[in-house]
């Protein structure tokens, strides 16, 4: 099937062709005709499936069909909610890209940006608002935005929205909208909470699923390295340097951990940036730009980056810390292996994260392959088999340091140095 067969307008087809796309993805093939008919949709689609275009294209088509160029001021007729600034920005960019030949105006309403500038832009009138819930409600409370004419509501990454505690905000937004509207709910996973939200939000929805629920992309190679926590950074630097990796997205659990690891990687000669919620929006945009453009090798991020980052052909994702929520593992590694490209997802797992690994494997319904030869002392990743650090040996009563020191063959710390993706100077594989 071609985009022409989906019934999209000529200006949209022109914009699609300019982006080099010729064939719609499965989610686009299923969702676009349904949305064009004005029906509500509940779509379960994994990241990297072309999901954003599956709702932006028909949304733009519908708005243009009912466009009145003489209407003043312009009223907001479509609202797209996203959980993070980064995802909202990328949806907004998609709206602008595909709407390049249409007489529609869009506005991005997110935190971390000037609310005064947003107010001025909204006063000029717009057709589409892409927003995060918190900043949108700020405008609603200040009466600087009018949602009374919204005809289409899109909730993107709805499961992440719920995970981040936005359900009360979403319900407040819904209360400010007209009851008669088209509702589109997109979610990577369809949990009981999402089903309950769908029951409240959608009217006779068409259910669309293009991938097995809680499945990871088949073209993503997954590996687990069992390693004690204190040696994770050394192994990480070795993997990046020795393999000459040029673009690596590294996930950590905390903002402080992201900043610390960024500095540690710098001492190993690996150029990197940190991305987390304490960064200003300008700093976050610059970090993403540097990473996408290859000015840095690694980006160290908290789960704020797990959803919505659209990086072409990102080859490597590393879980420096495993996520607390198993579903977040799927979203993290979904940053690689997008649009049919191959990718690798590596998890550095210490014994006290064994229960988190078990939860992930239970969700996936399979065991992730282990790399036995890490160059360090082997560690157990079985939940009931992880020893306490320096716990007394049951047989001798002496302290057992096997799980807190590298192999005896390992000779000293790596020397910092090197750059441009090369292994740090003097670096040998640990344990060799």
Q: What tens digit of pLDDT does each residue of 340-370 get? A: 667 899 999 999 999 999 999 998 889 999 9
Q: Are 302 and 254 in contact (CB under 8 A)?
A: yes
Residues of the chain with CATH 3.40.50.300: 4-209, 220-385
pLDDT at 129: 98
- Does domain 220-385 bear CATH number 3.40.50.720? no
Q: Are 76 and 105 in contact (CB under 8 A)?
A: no
Q: What tens digit of pLDDT does each residue of 273-308 get? A: 999 878 887 888 889 889 988 999 999 999 876 555
Question: Does position 421 have pLDDT exceeding 60, yes or no?
Answer: no
Residue ranges of the alpha helices (H) in 229-280?
232-242, 255-267
Distance of alpha carbon 152 from alpha carbon 186, whole angstroms: 14
pLDDT at 120: 93
Q: Are 161 and 170 in contact (CB under 8 A)?
A: yes
DSSP string, 316-327: EEEESS--SSHH
Share of the chain above pLDDT 70, in %: 83
Residue with tokens 């275009």: 53
Q: What tens digit of pLDDT does each residue of 148-173 get? A: 999 999 999 898 888 888 989 999 99
Question: Does position 229 have pLDDT exceeding 70, yes or no?
Answer: yes
Distance of alpha carbon 244 from alpha carbon 262, whole angstroms: 18
What are the CA-CA distances from residue 206 to residues 31, 33, 117, 163, 186 (Å)? 9, 11, 38, 24, 12
Q: Are 52 and 184 in contact (CB under 8 A)?
A: no
| Homologous superfamily in CATH for domain 4-209 | P-loop containing nucleotide triphosphate hydrolases (3.40.50.300)
Question: Does position 338 have pLDDT exceeding 80, yes or no?
Answer: no
Distance of alpha carbon 256 from alpha carbon 252, whole angstroms: 9
Question: Does position 103 have pLDDT exceeding 50, yes or no?
Answer: yes
Which two three-digit tokens encode residue 344? 């690798």
pLDDT, averaged across the chain:
83
DSSP state of 414: P
Q: Which pLDDT band holds residue 425 (cuts at 50, 70, 90)?
A: very low
> Where are the extended beta strands (E) located within 260-339?
272-275, 298-301, 316-319
**Contacts made by residues 200-206, CB under 8 angstroms, sequence distance 24+:** 201/153, 201/155, 201/174, 202/40, 202/41, 202/42, 203/40, 204/39, 204/40, 205/39, 205/40, 205/41, 205/42, 206/34, 206/39, 206/40, 206/41, 206/42
In which element (H, E) is residue 92 found? helix 85-98
Q: Are 33 and 208 in contact (CB under 8 A)?
A: no
pLDDT at 333: 86
pLDDT at 339: 58
Q: Which pLDDT band holds residue 405 (cuts at 50, 70, 90)?
A: very low
Question: Does position 114 have pLDDT exceeding 90, yes or no?
Answer: no
| Residue (of 105, 125, 32) closest to 63 by Cα position | 105
pTM listed for this prediction: 0.65
């Amino acid at each position: 099937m071609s985009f022409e067969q989906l019934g999209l307008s000529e200006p949209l087809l022109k914009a699609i062709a300019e982006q080099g796309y010729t064939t719609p993805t499965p989610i686009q093939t299923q969702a676009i005709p349904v949305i064009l008919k004005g029906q509500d949709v509940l779509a379960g689609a994994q990241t990297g499936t072309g999901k954003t275009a599956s709702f932006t294209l028909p949304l733009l088509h519908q708005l243009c069909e009912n466009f009145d160029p003489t209407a003043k001021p312009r009223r907001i007729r479509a609202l797209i909610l996203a959980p993070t600034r980064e995802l909202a920005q990328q949806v907004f960019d998609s709206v602008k890209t595909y709407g390049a030949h249409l007489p529609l105006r869009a506005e991005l309403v997110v935190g971390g940006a000037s609310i005064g500038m947003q107010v001025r832009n909204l006063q000029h009138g717009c057709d589409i608002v892409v927003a995060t819930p918190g900043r949108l409600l700020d405008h609603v409370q200040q009466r600087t935005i009018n949602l009374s004419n919204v005809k289409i509501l899109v909730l993107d990454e709805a499961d992440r929205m719920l995970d981040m505690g936005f359900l009360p905000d979403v319900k407040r937004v819904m209360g400010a909208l007209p009851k008669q509207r088209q509702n589109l709910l997109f979610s990577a996973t369809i949990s009981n909470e999402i089903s309950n939200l769908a029951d409240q939000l959608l009217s006779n929805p068409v259910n669309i699923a293009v991938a097995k629920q809680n499945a990871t992309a088949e073209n993503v190679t997954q590996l687990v390295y069992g390693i004690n926590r204190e040696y994770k950074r050394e192994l990480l630097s070795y993997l990046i340097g020795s393999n000459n990796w040029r673009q690596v997205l590294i996930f950590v659990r905390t903002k402080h951990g992201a900043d610390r690891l960024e500095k540690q990687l710098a001492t190993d000669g690996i150029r990197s940036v940190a991305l987390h919620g304490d960064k200003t929006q300008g700093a976050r945009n610059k970090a993403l730009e540097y990473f996408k453009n290859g000015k840095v090798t690694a980006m160290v991020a908290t789960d704020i980056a797990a959803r919505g980052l659209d990086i072409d052909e990102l080859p490597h994702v590393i879980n420096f810390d495993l996520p607390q929520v198993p579903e977040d593992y799927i979203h993290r590694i979904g940053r690689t292996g997008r649009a049919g490209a191959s990718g690798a997802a590596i998890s550095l797992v210490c014994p006290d994260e064994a229960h988190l690994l078990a939860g992930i494997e239970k969700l996936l319904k399979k065991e992730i392959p282990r790399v036995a030869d890490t160059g360090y002392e082997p560690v157990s990743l079985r939940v009931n088999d992880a020893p306490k650090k320096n716990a007394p040996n049951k047989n001798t009563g002496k302290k057992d340091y096997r799980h807190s020191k590298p192999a005896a063959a390992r000779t000293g710390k790596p020397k910092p140095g090197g750059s441009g993706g090369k292994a740090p100077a003097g670096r040998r594989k640990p344990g060799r």
